[in-house]
Structure 1
């Protein structure tokens, strides 16, 4: 029984390493990779970009995330950081929707191969504690600049 468990453990370990190697080798060759998969995003630029992906119908919180993010970036980083709002339902063929495998409301900061997902922070704070969300957003942007 111990031998069977050892063999299964080794196979699981080898499978995990193999999957990670395939994933990251694809992104190194310029192929798309999902943000949640742990692999680097293909470097394309040295500028910081903020992308807010949303649906056609939006709740008050969804709108607050966009409003706070856009205003914070325009007021503090004009010319240094770009903000783009993308309707993922109307723009299903948008290369960014495909590249980041977006399926829900998502706020991303991207600079070359570095990406920060601020979706949770935005949805937890943009409506009720916008100053807290703004502080986190600025902190992440400052670290990328």
Structure 2
């Protein structure tokens, strides 16, 4: 019985680690799109914001998520969709952390009360398939 219990505990811990430790937190789009395309896209969206929550110390993947997200928004929507990088360790982040119930890294696309969490998708694709992440971000913004 003890062995089964310890095995189950181990599996639960392993699952939790694999879901949250995609990075070392404690340590469609096309660059040649014309301004007209960005303006058209901007006309179809309003009040959408993208937040990237992170820690002070970030690994390459954490940095890539931020970079790719910013590129996706700029390439697809110009300045129409605001992007905010939020350090969760800073006092000024407290209000946003409480509002979105965030305690660690997160990539959120927000419009009003609708919140789309792209965190897992972002960490799986930012370094290995950035275009896939860019497309997902653009699709999510447009869907809101």
Query: Match for residue 73 of structure 1?
Result: 73
Aligned residues, how many? 99
Quote the RMSD (CA, aligned, Å).
1.3
The whole-number CA distance in structure 2 between the counterparts of 1:93 and 1:142 is 27
| Residues 32-80 of structure 1: per-residue CA shift (max 9 Å, x gap) | xxxxxxxxxxxxxx50000000000001000000000011111211232
The whole-number CA distance in structure 2 between the counterparts of 1:93 and 1:74 is 24
The whole-number CA distance in structure 2 between the counterparts of 1:129 and 1:91 is 33
Q: Under a length normalisation based on structure 1, what TM-score does the superposition of the two structures give?
A: 0.64
Would the aligned equivalents of 2:108 and 2:117 in 1 still touch at CA under 8 Å?
Answer: yes
5+ residue gaps, structure 1, are: 1-45
How far does residue 92 in structure 1 lie from its aligned partner after superposition? 5.8
Correspondence 1:1-145 to 2 at 5 A: 47-91=47-91, 93-144=93-144
Q: Under a length normalisation based on structure 2, what TM-score does the superposition of the two structures give?
A: 0.65
The whole-number CA distance in structure 1 between the counterparts of 2:53 and 2:123 is 13
How far does residue 142 in structure 1 lie from its aligned partner after superposition? 1.1
The whole-number CA distance in structure 2 between the counterparts of 1:69 and 1:79 is 13
5+ residue gaps, structure 2, are: 1-45
The whole-number CA distance in structure 1 between the counterparts of 2:93 and 2:117 is 21
Is the alpha carbon distance of 1:132 and 1:105 closer, same or farther for their aligned partners in structure 2, counting shifts above 3 Å? same
| Residues 94-116 of structure 1: per-residue CA shift (max 9 Å, x gap) | 31111112111000000011110
The whole-number CA distance in structure 2 between the counterparts of 1:131 and 1:137 is 10
* Structure having the higher Rg: 1
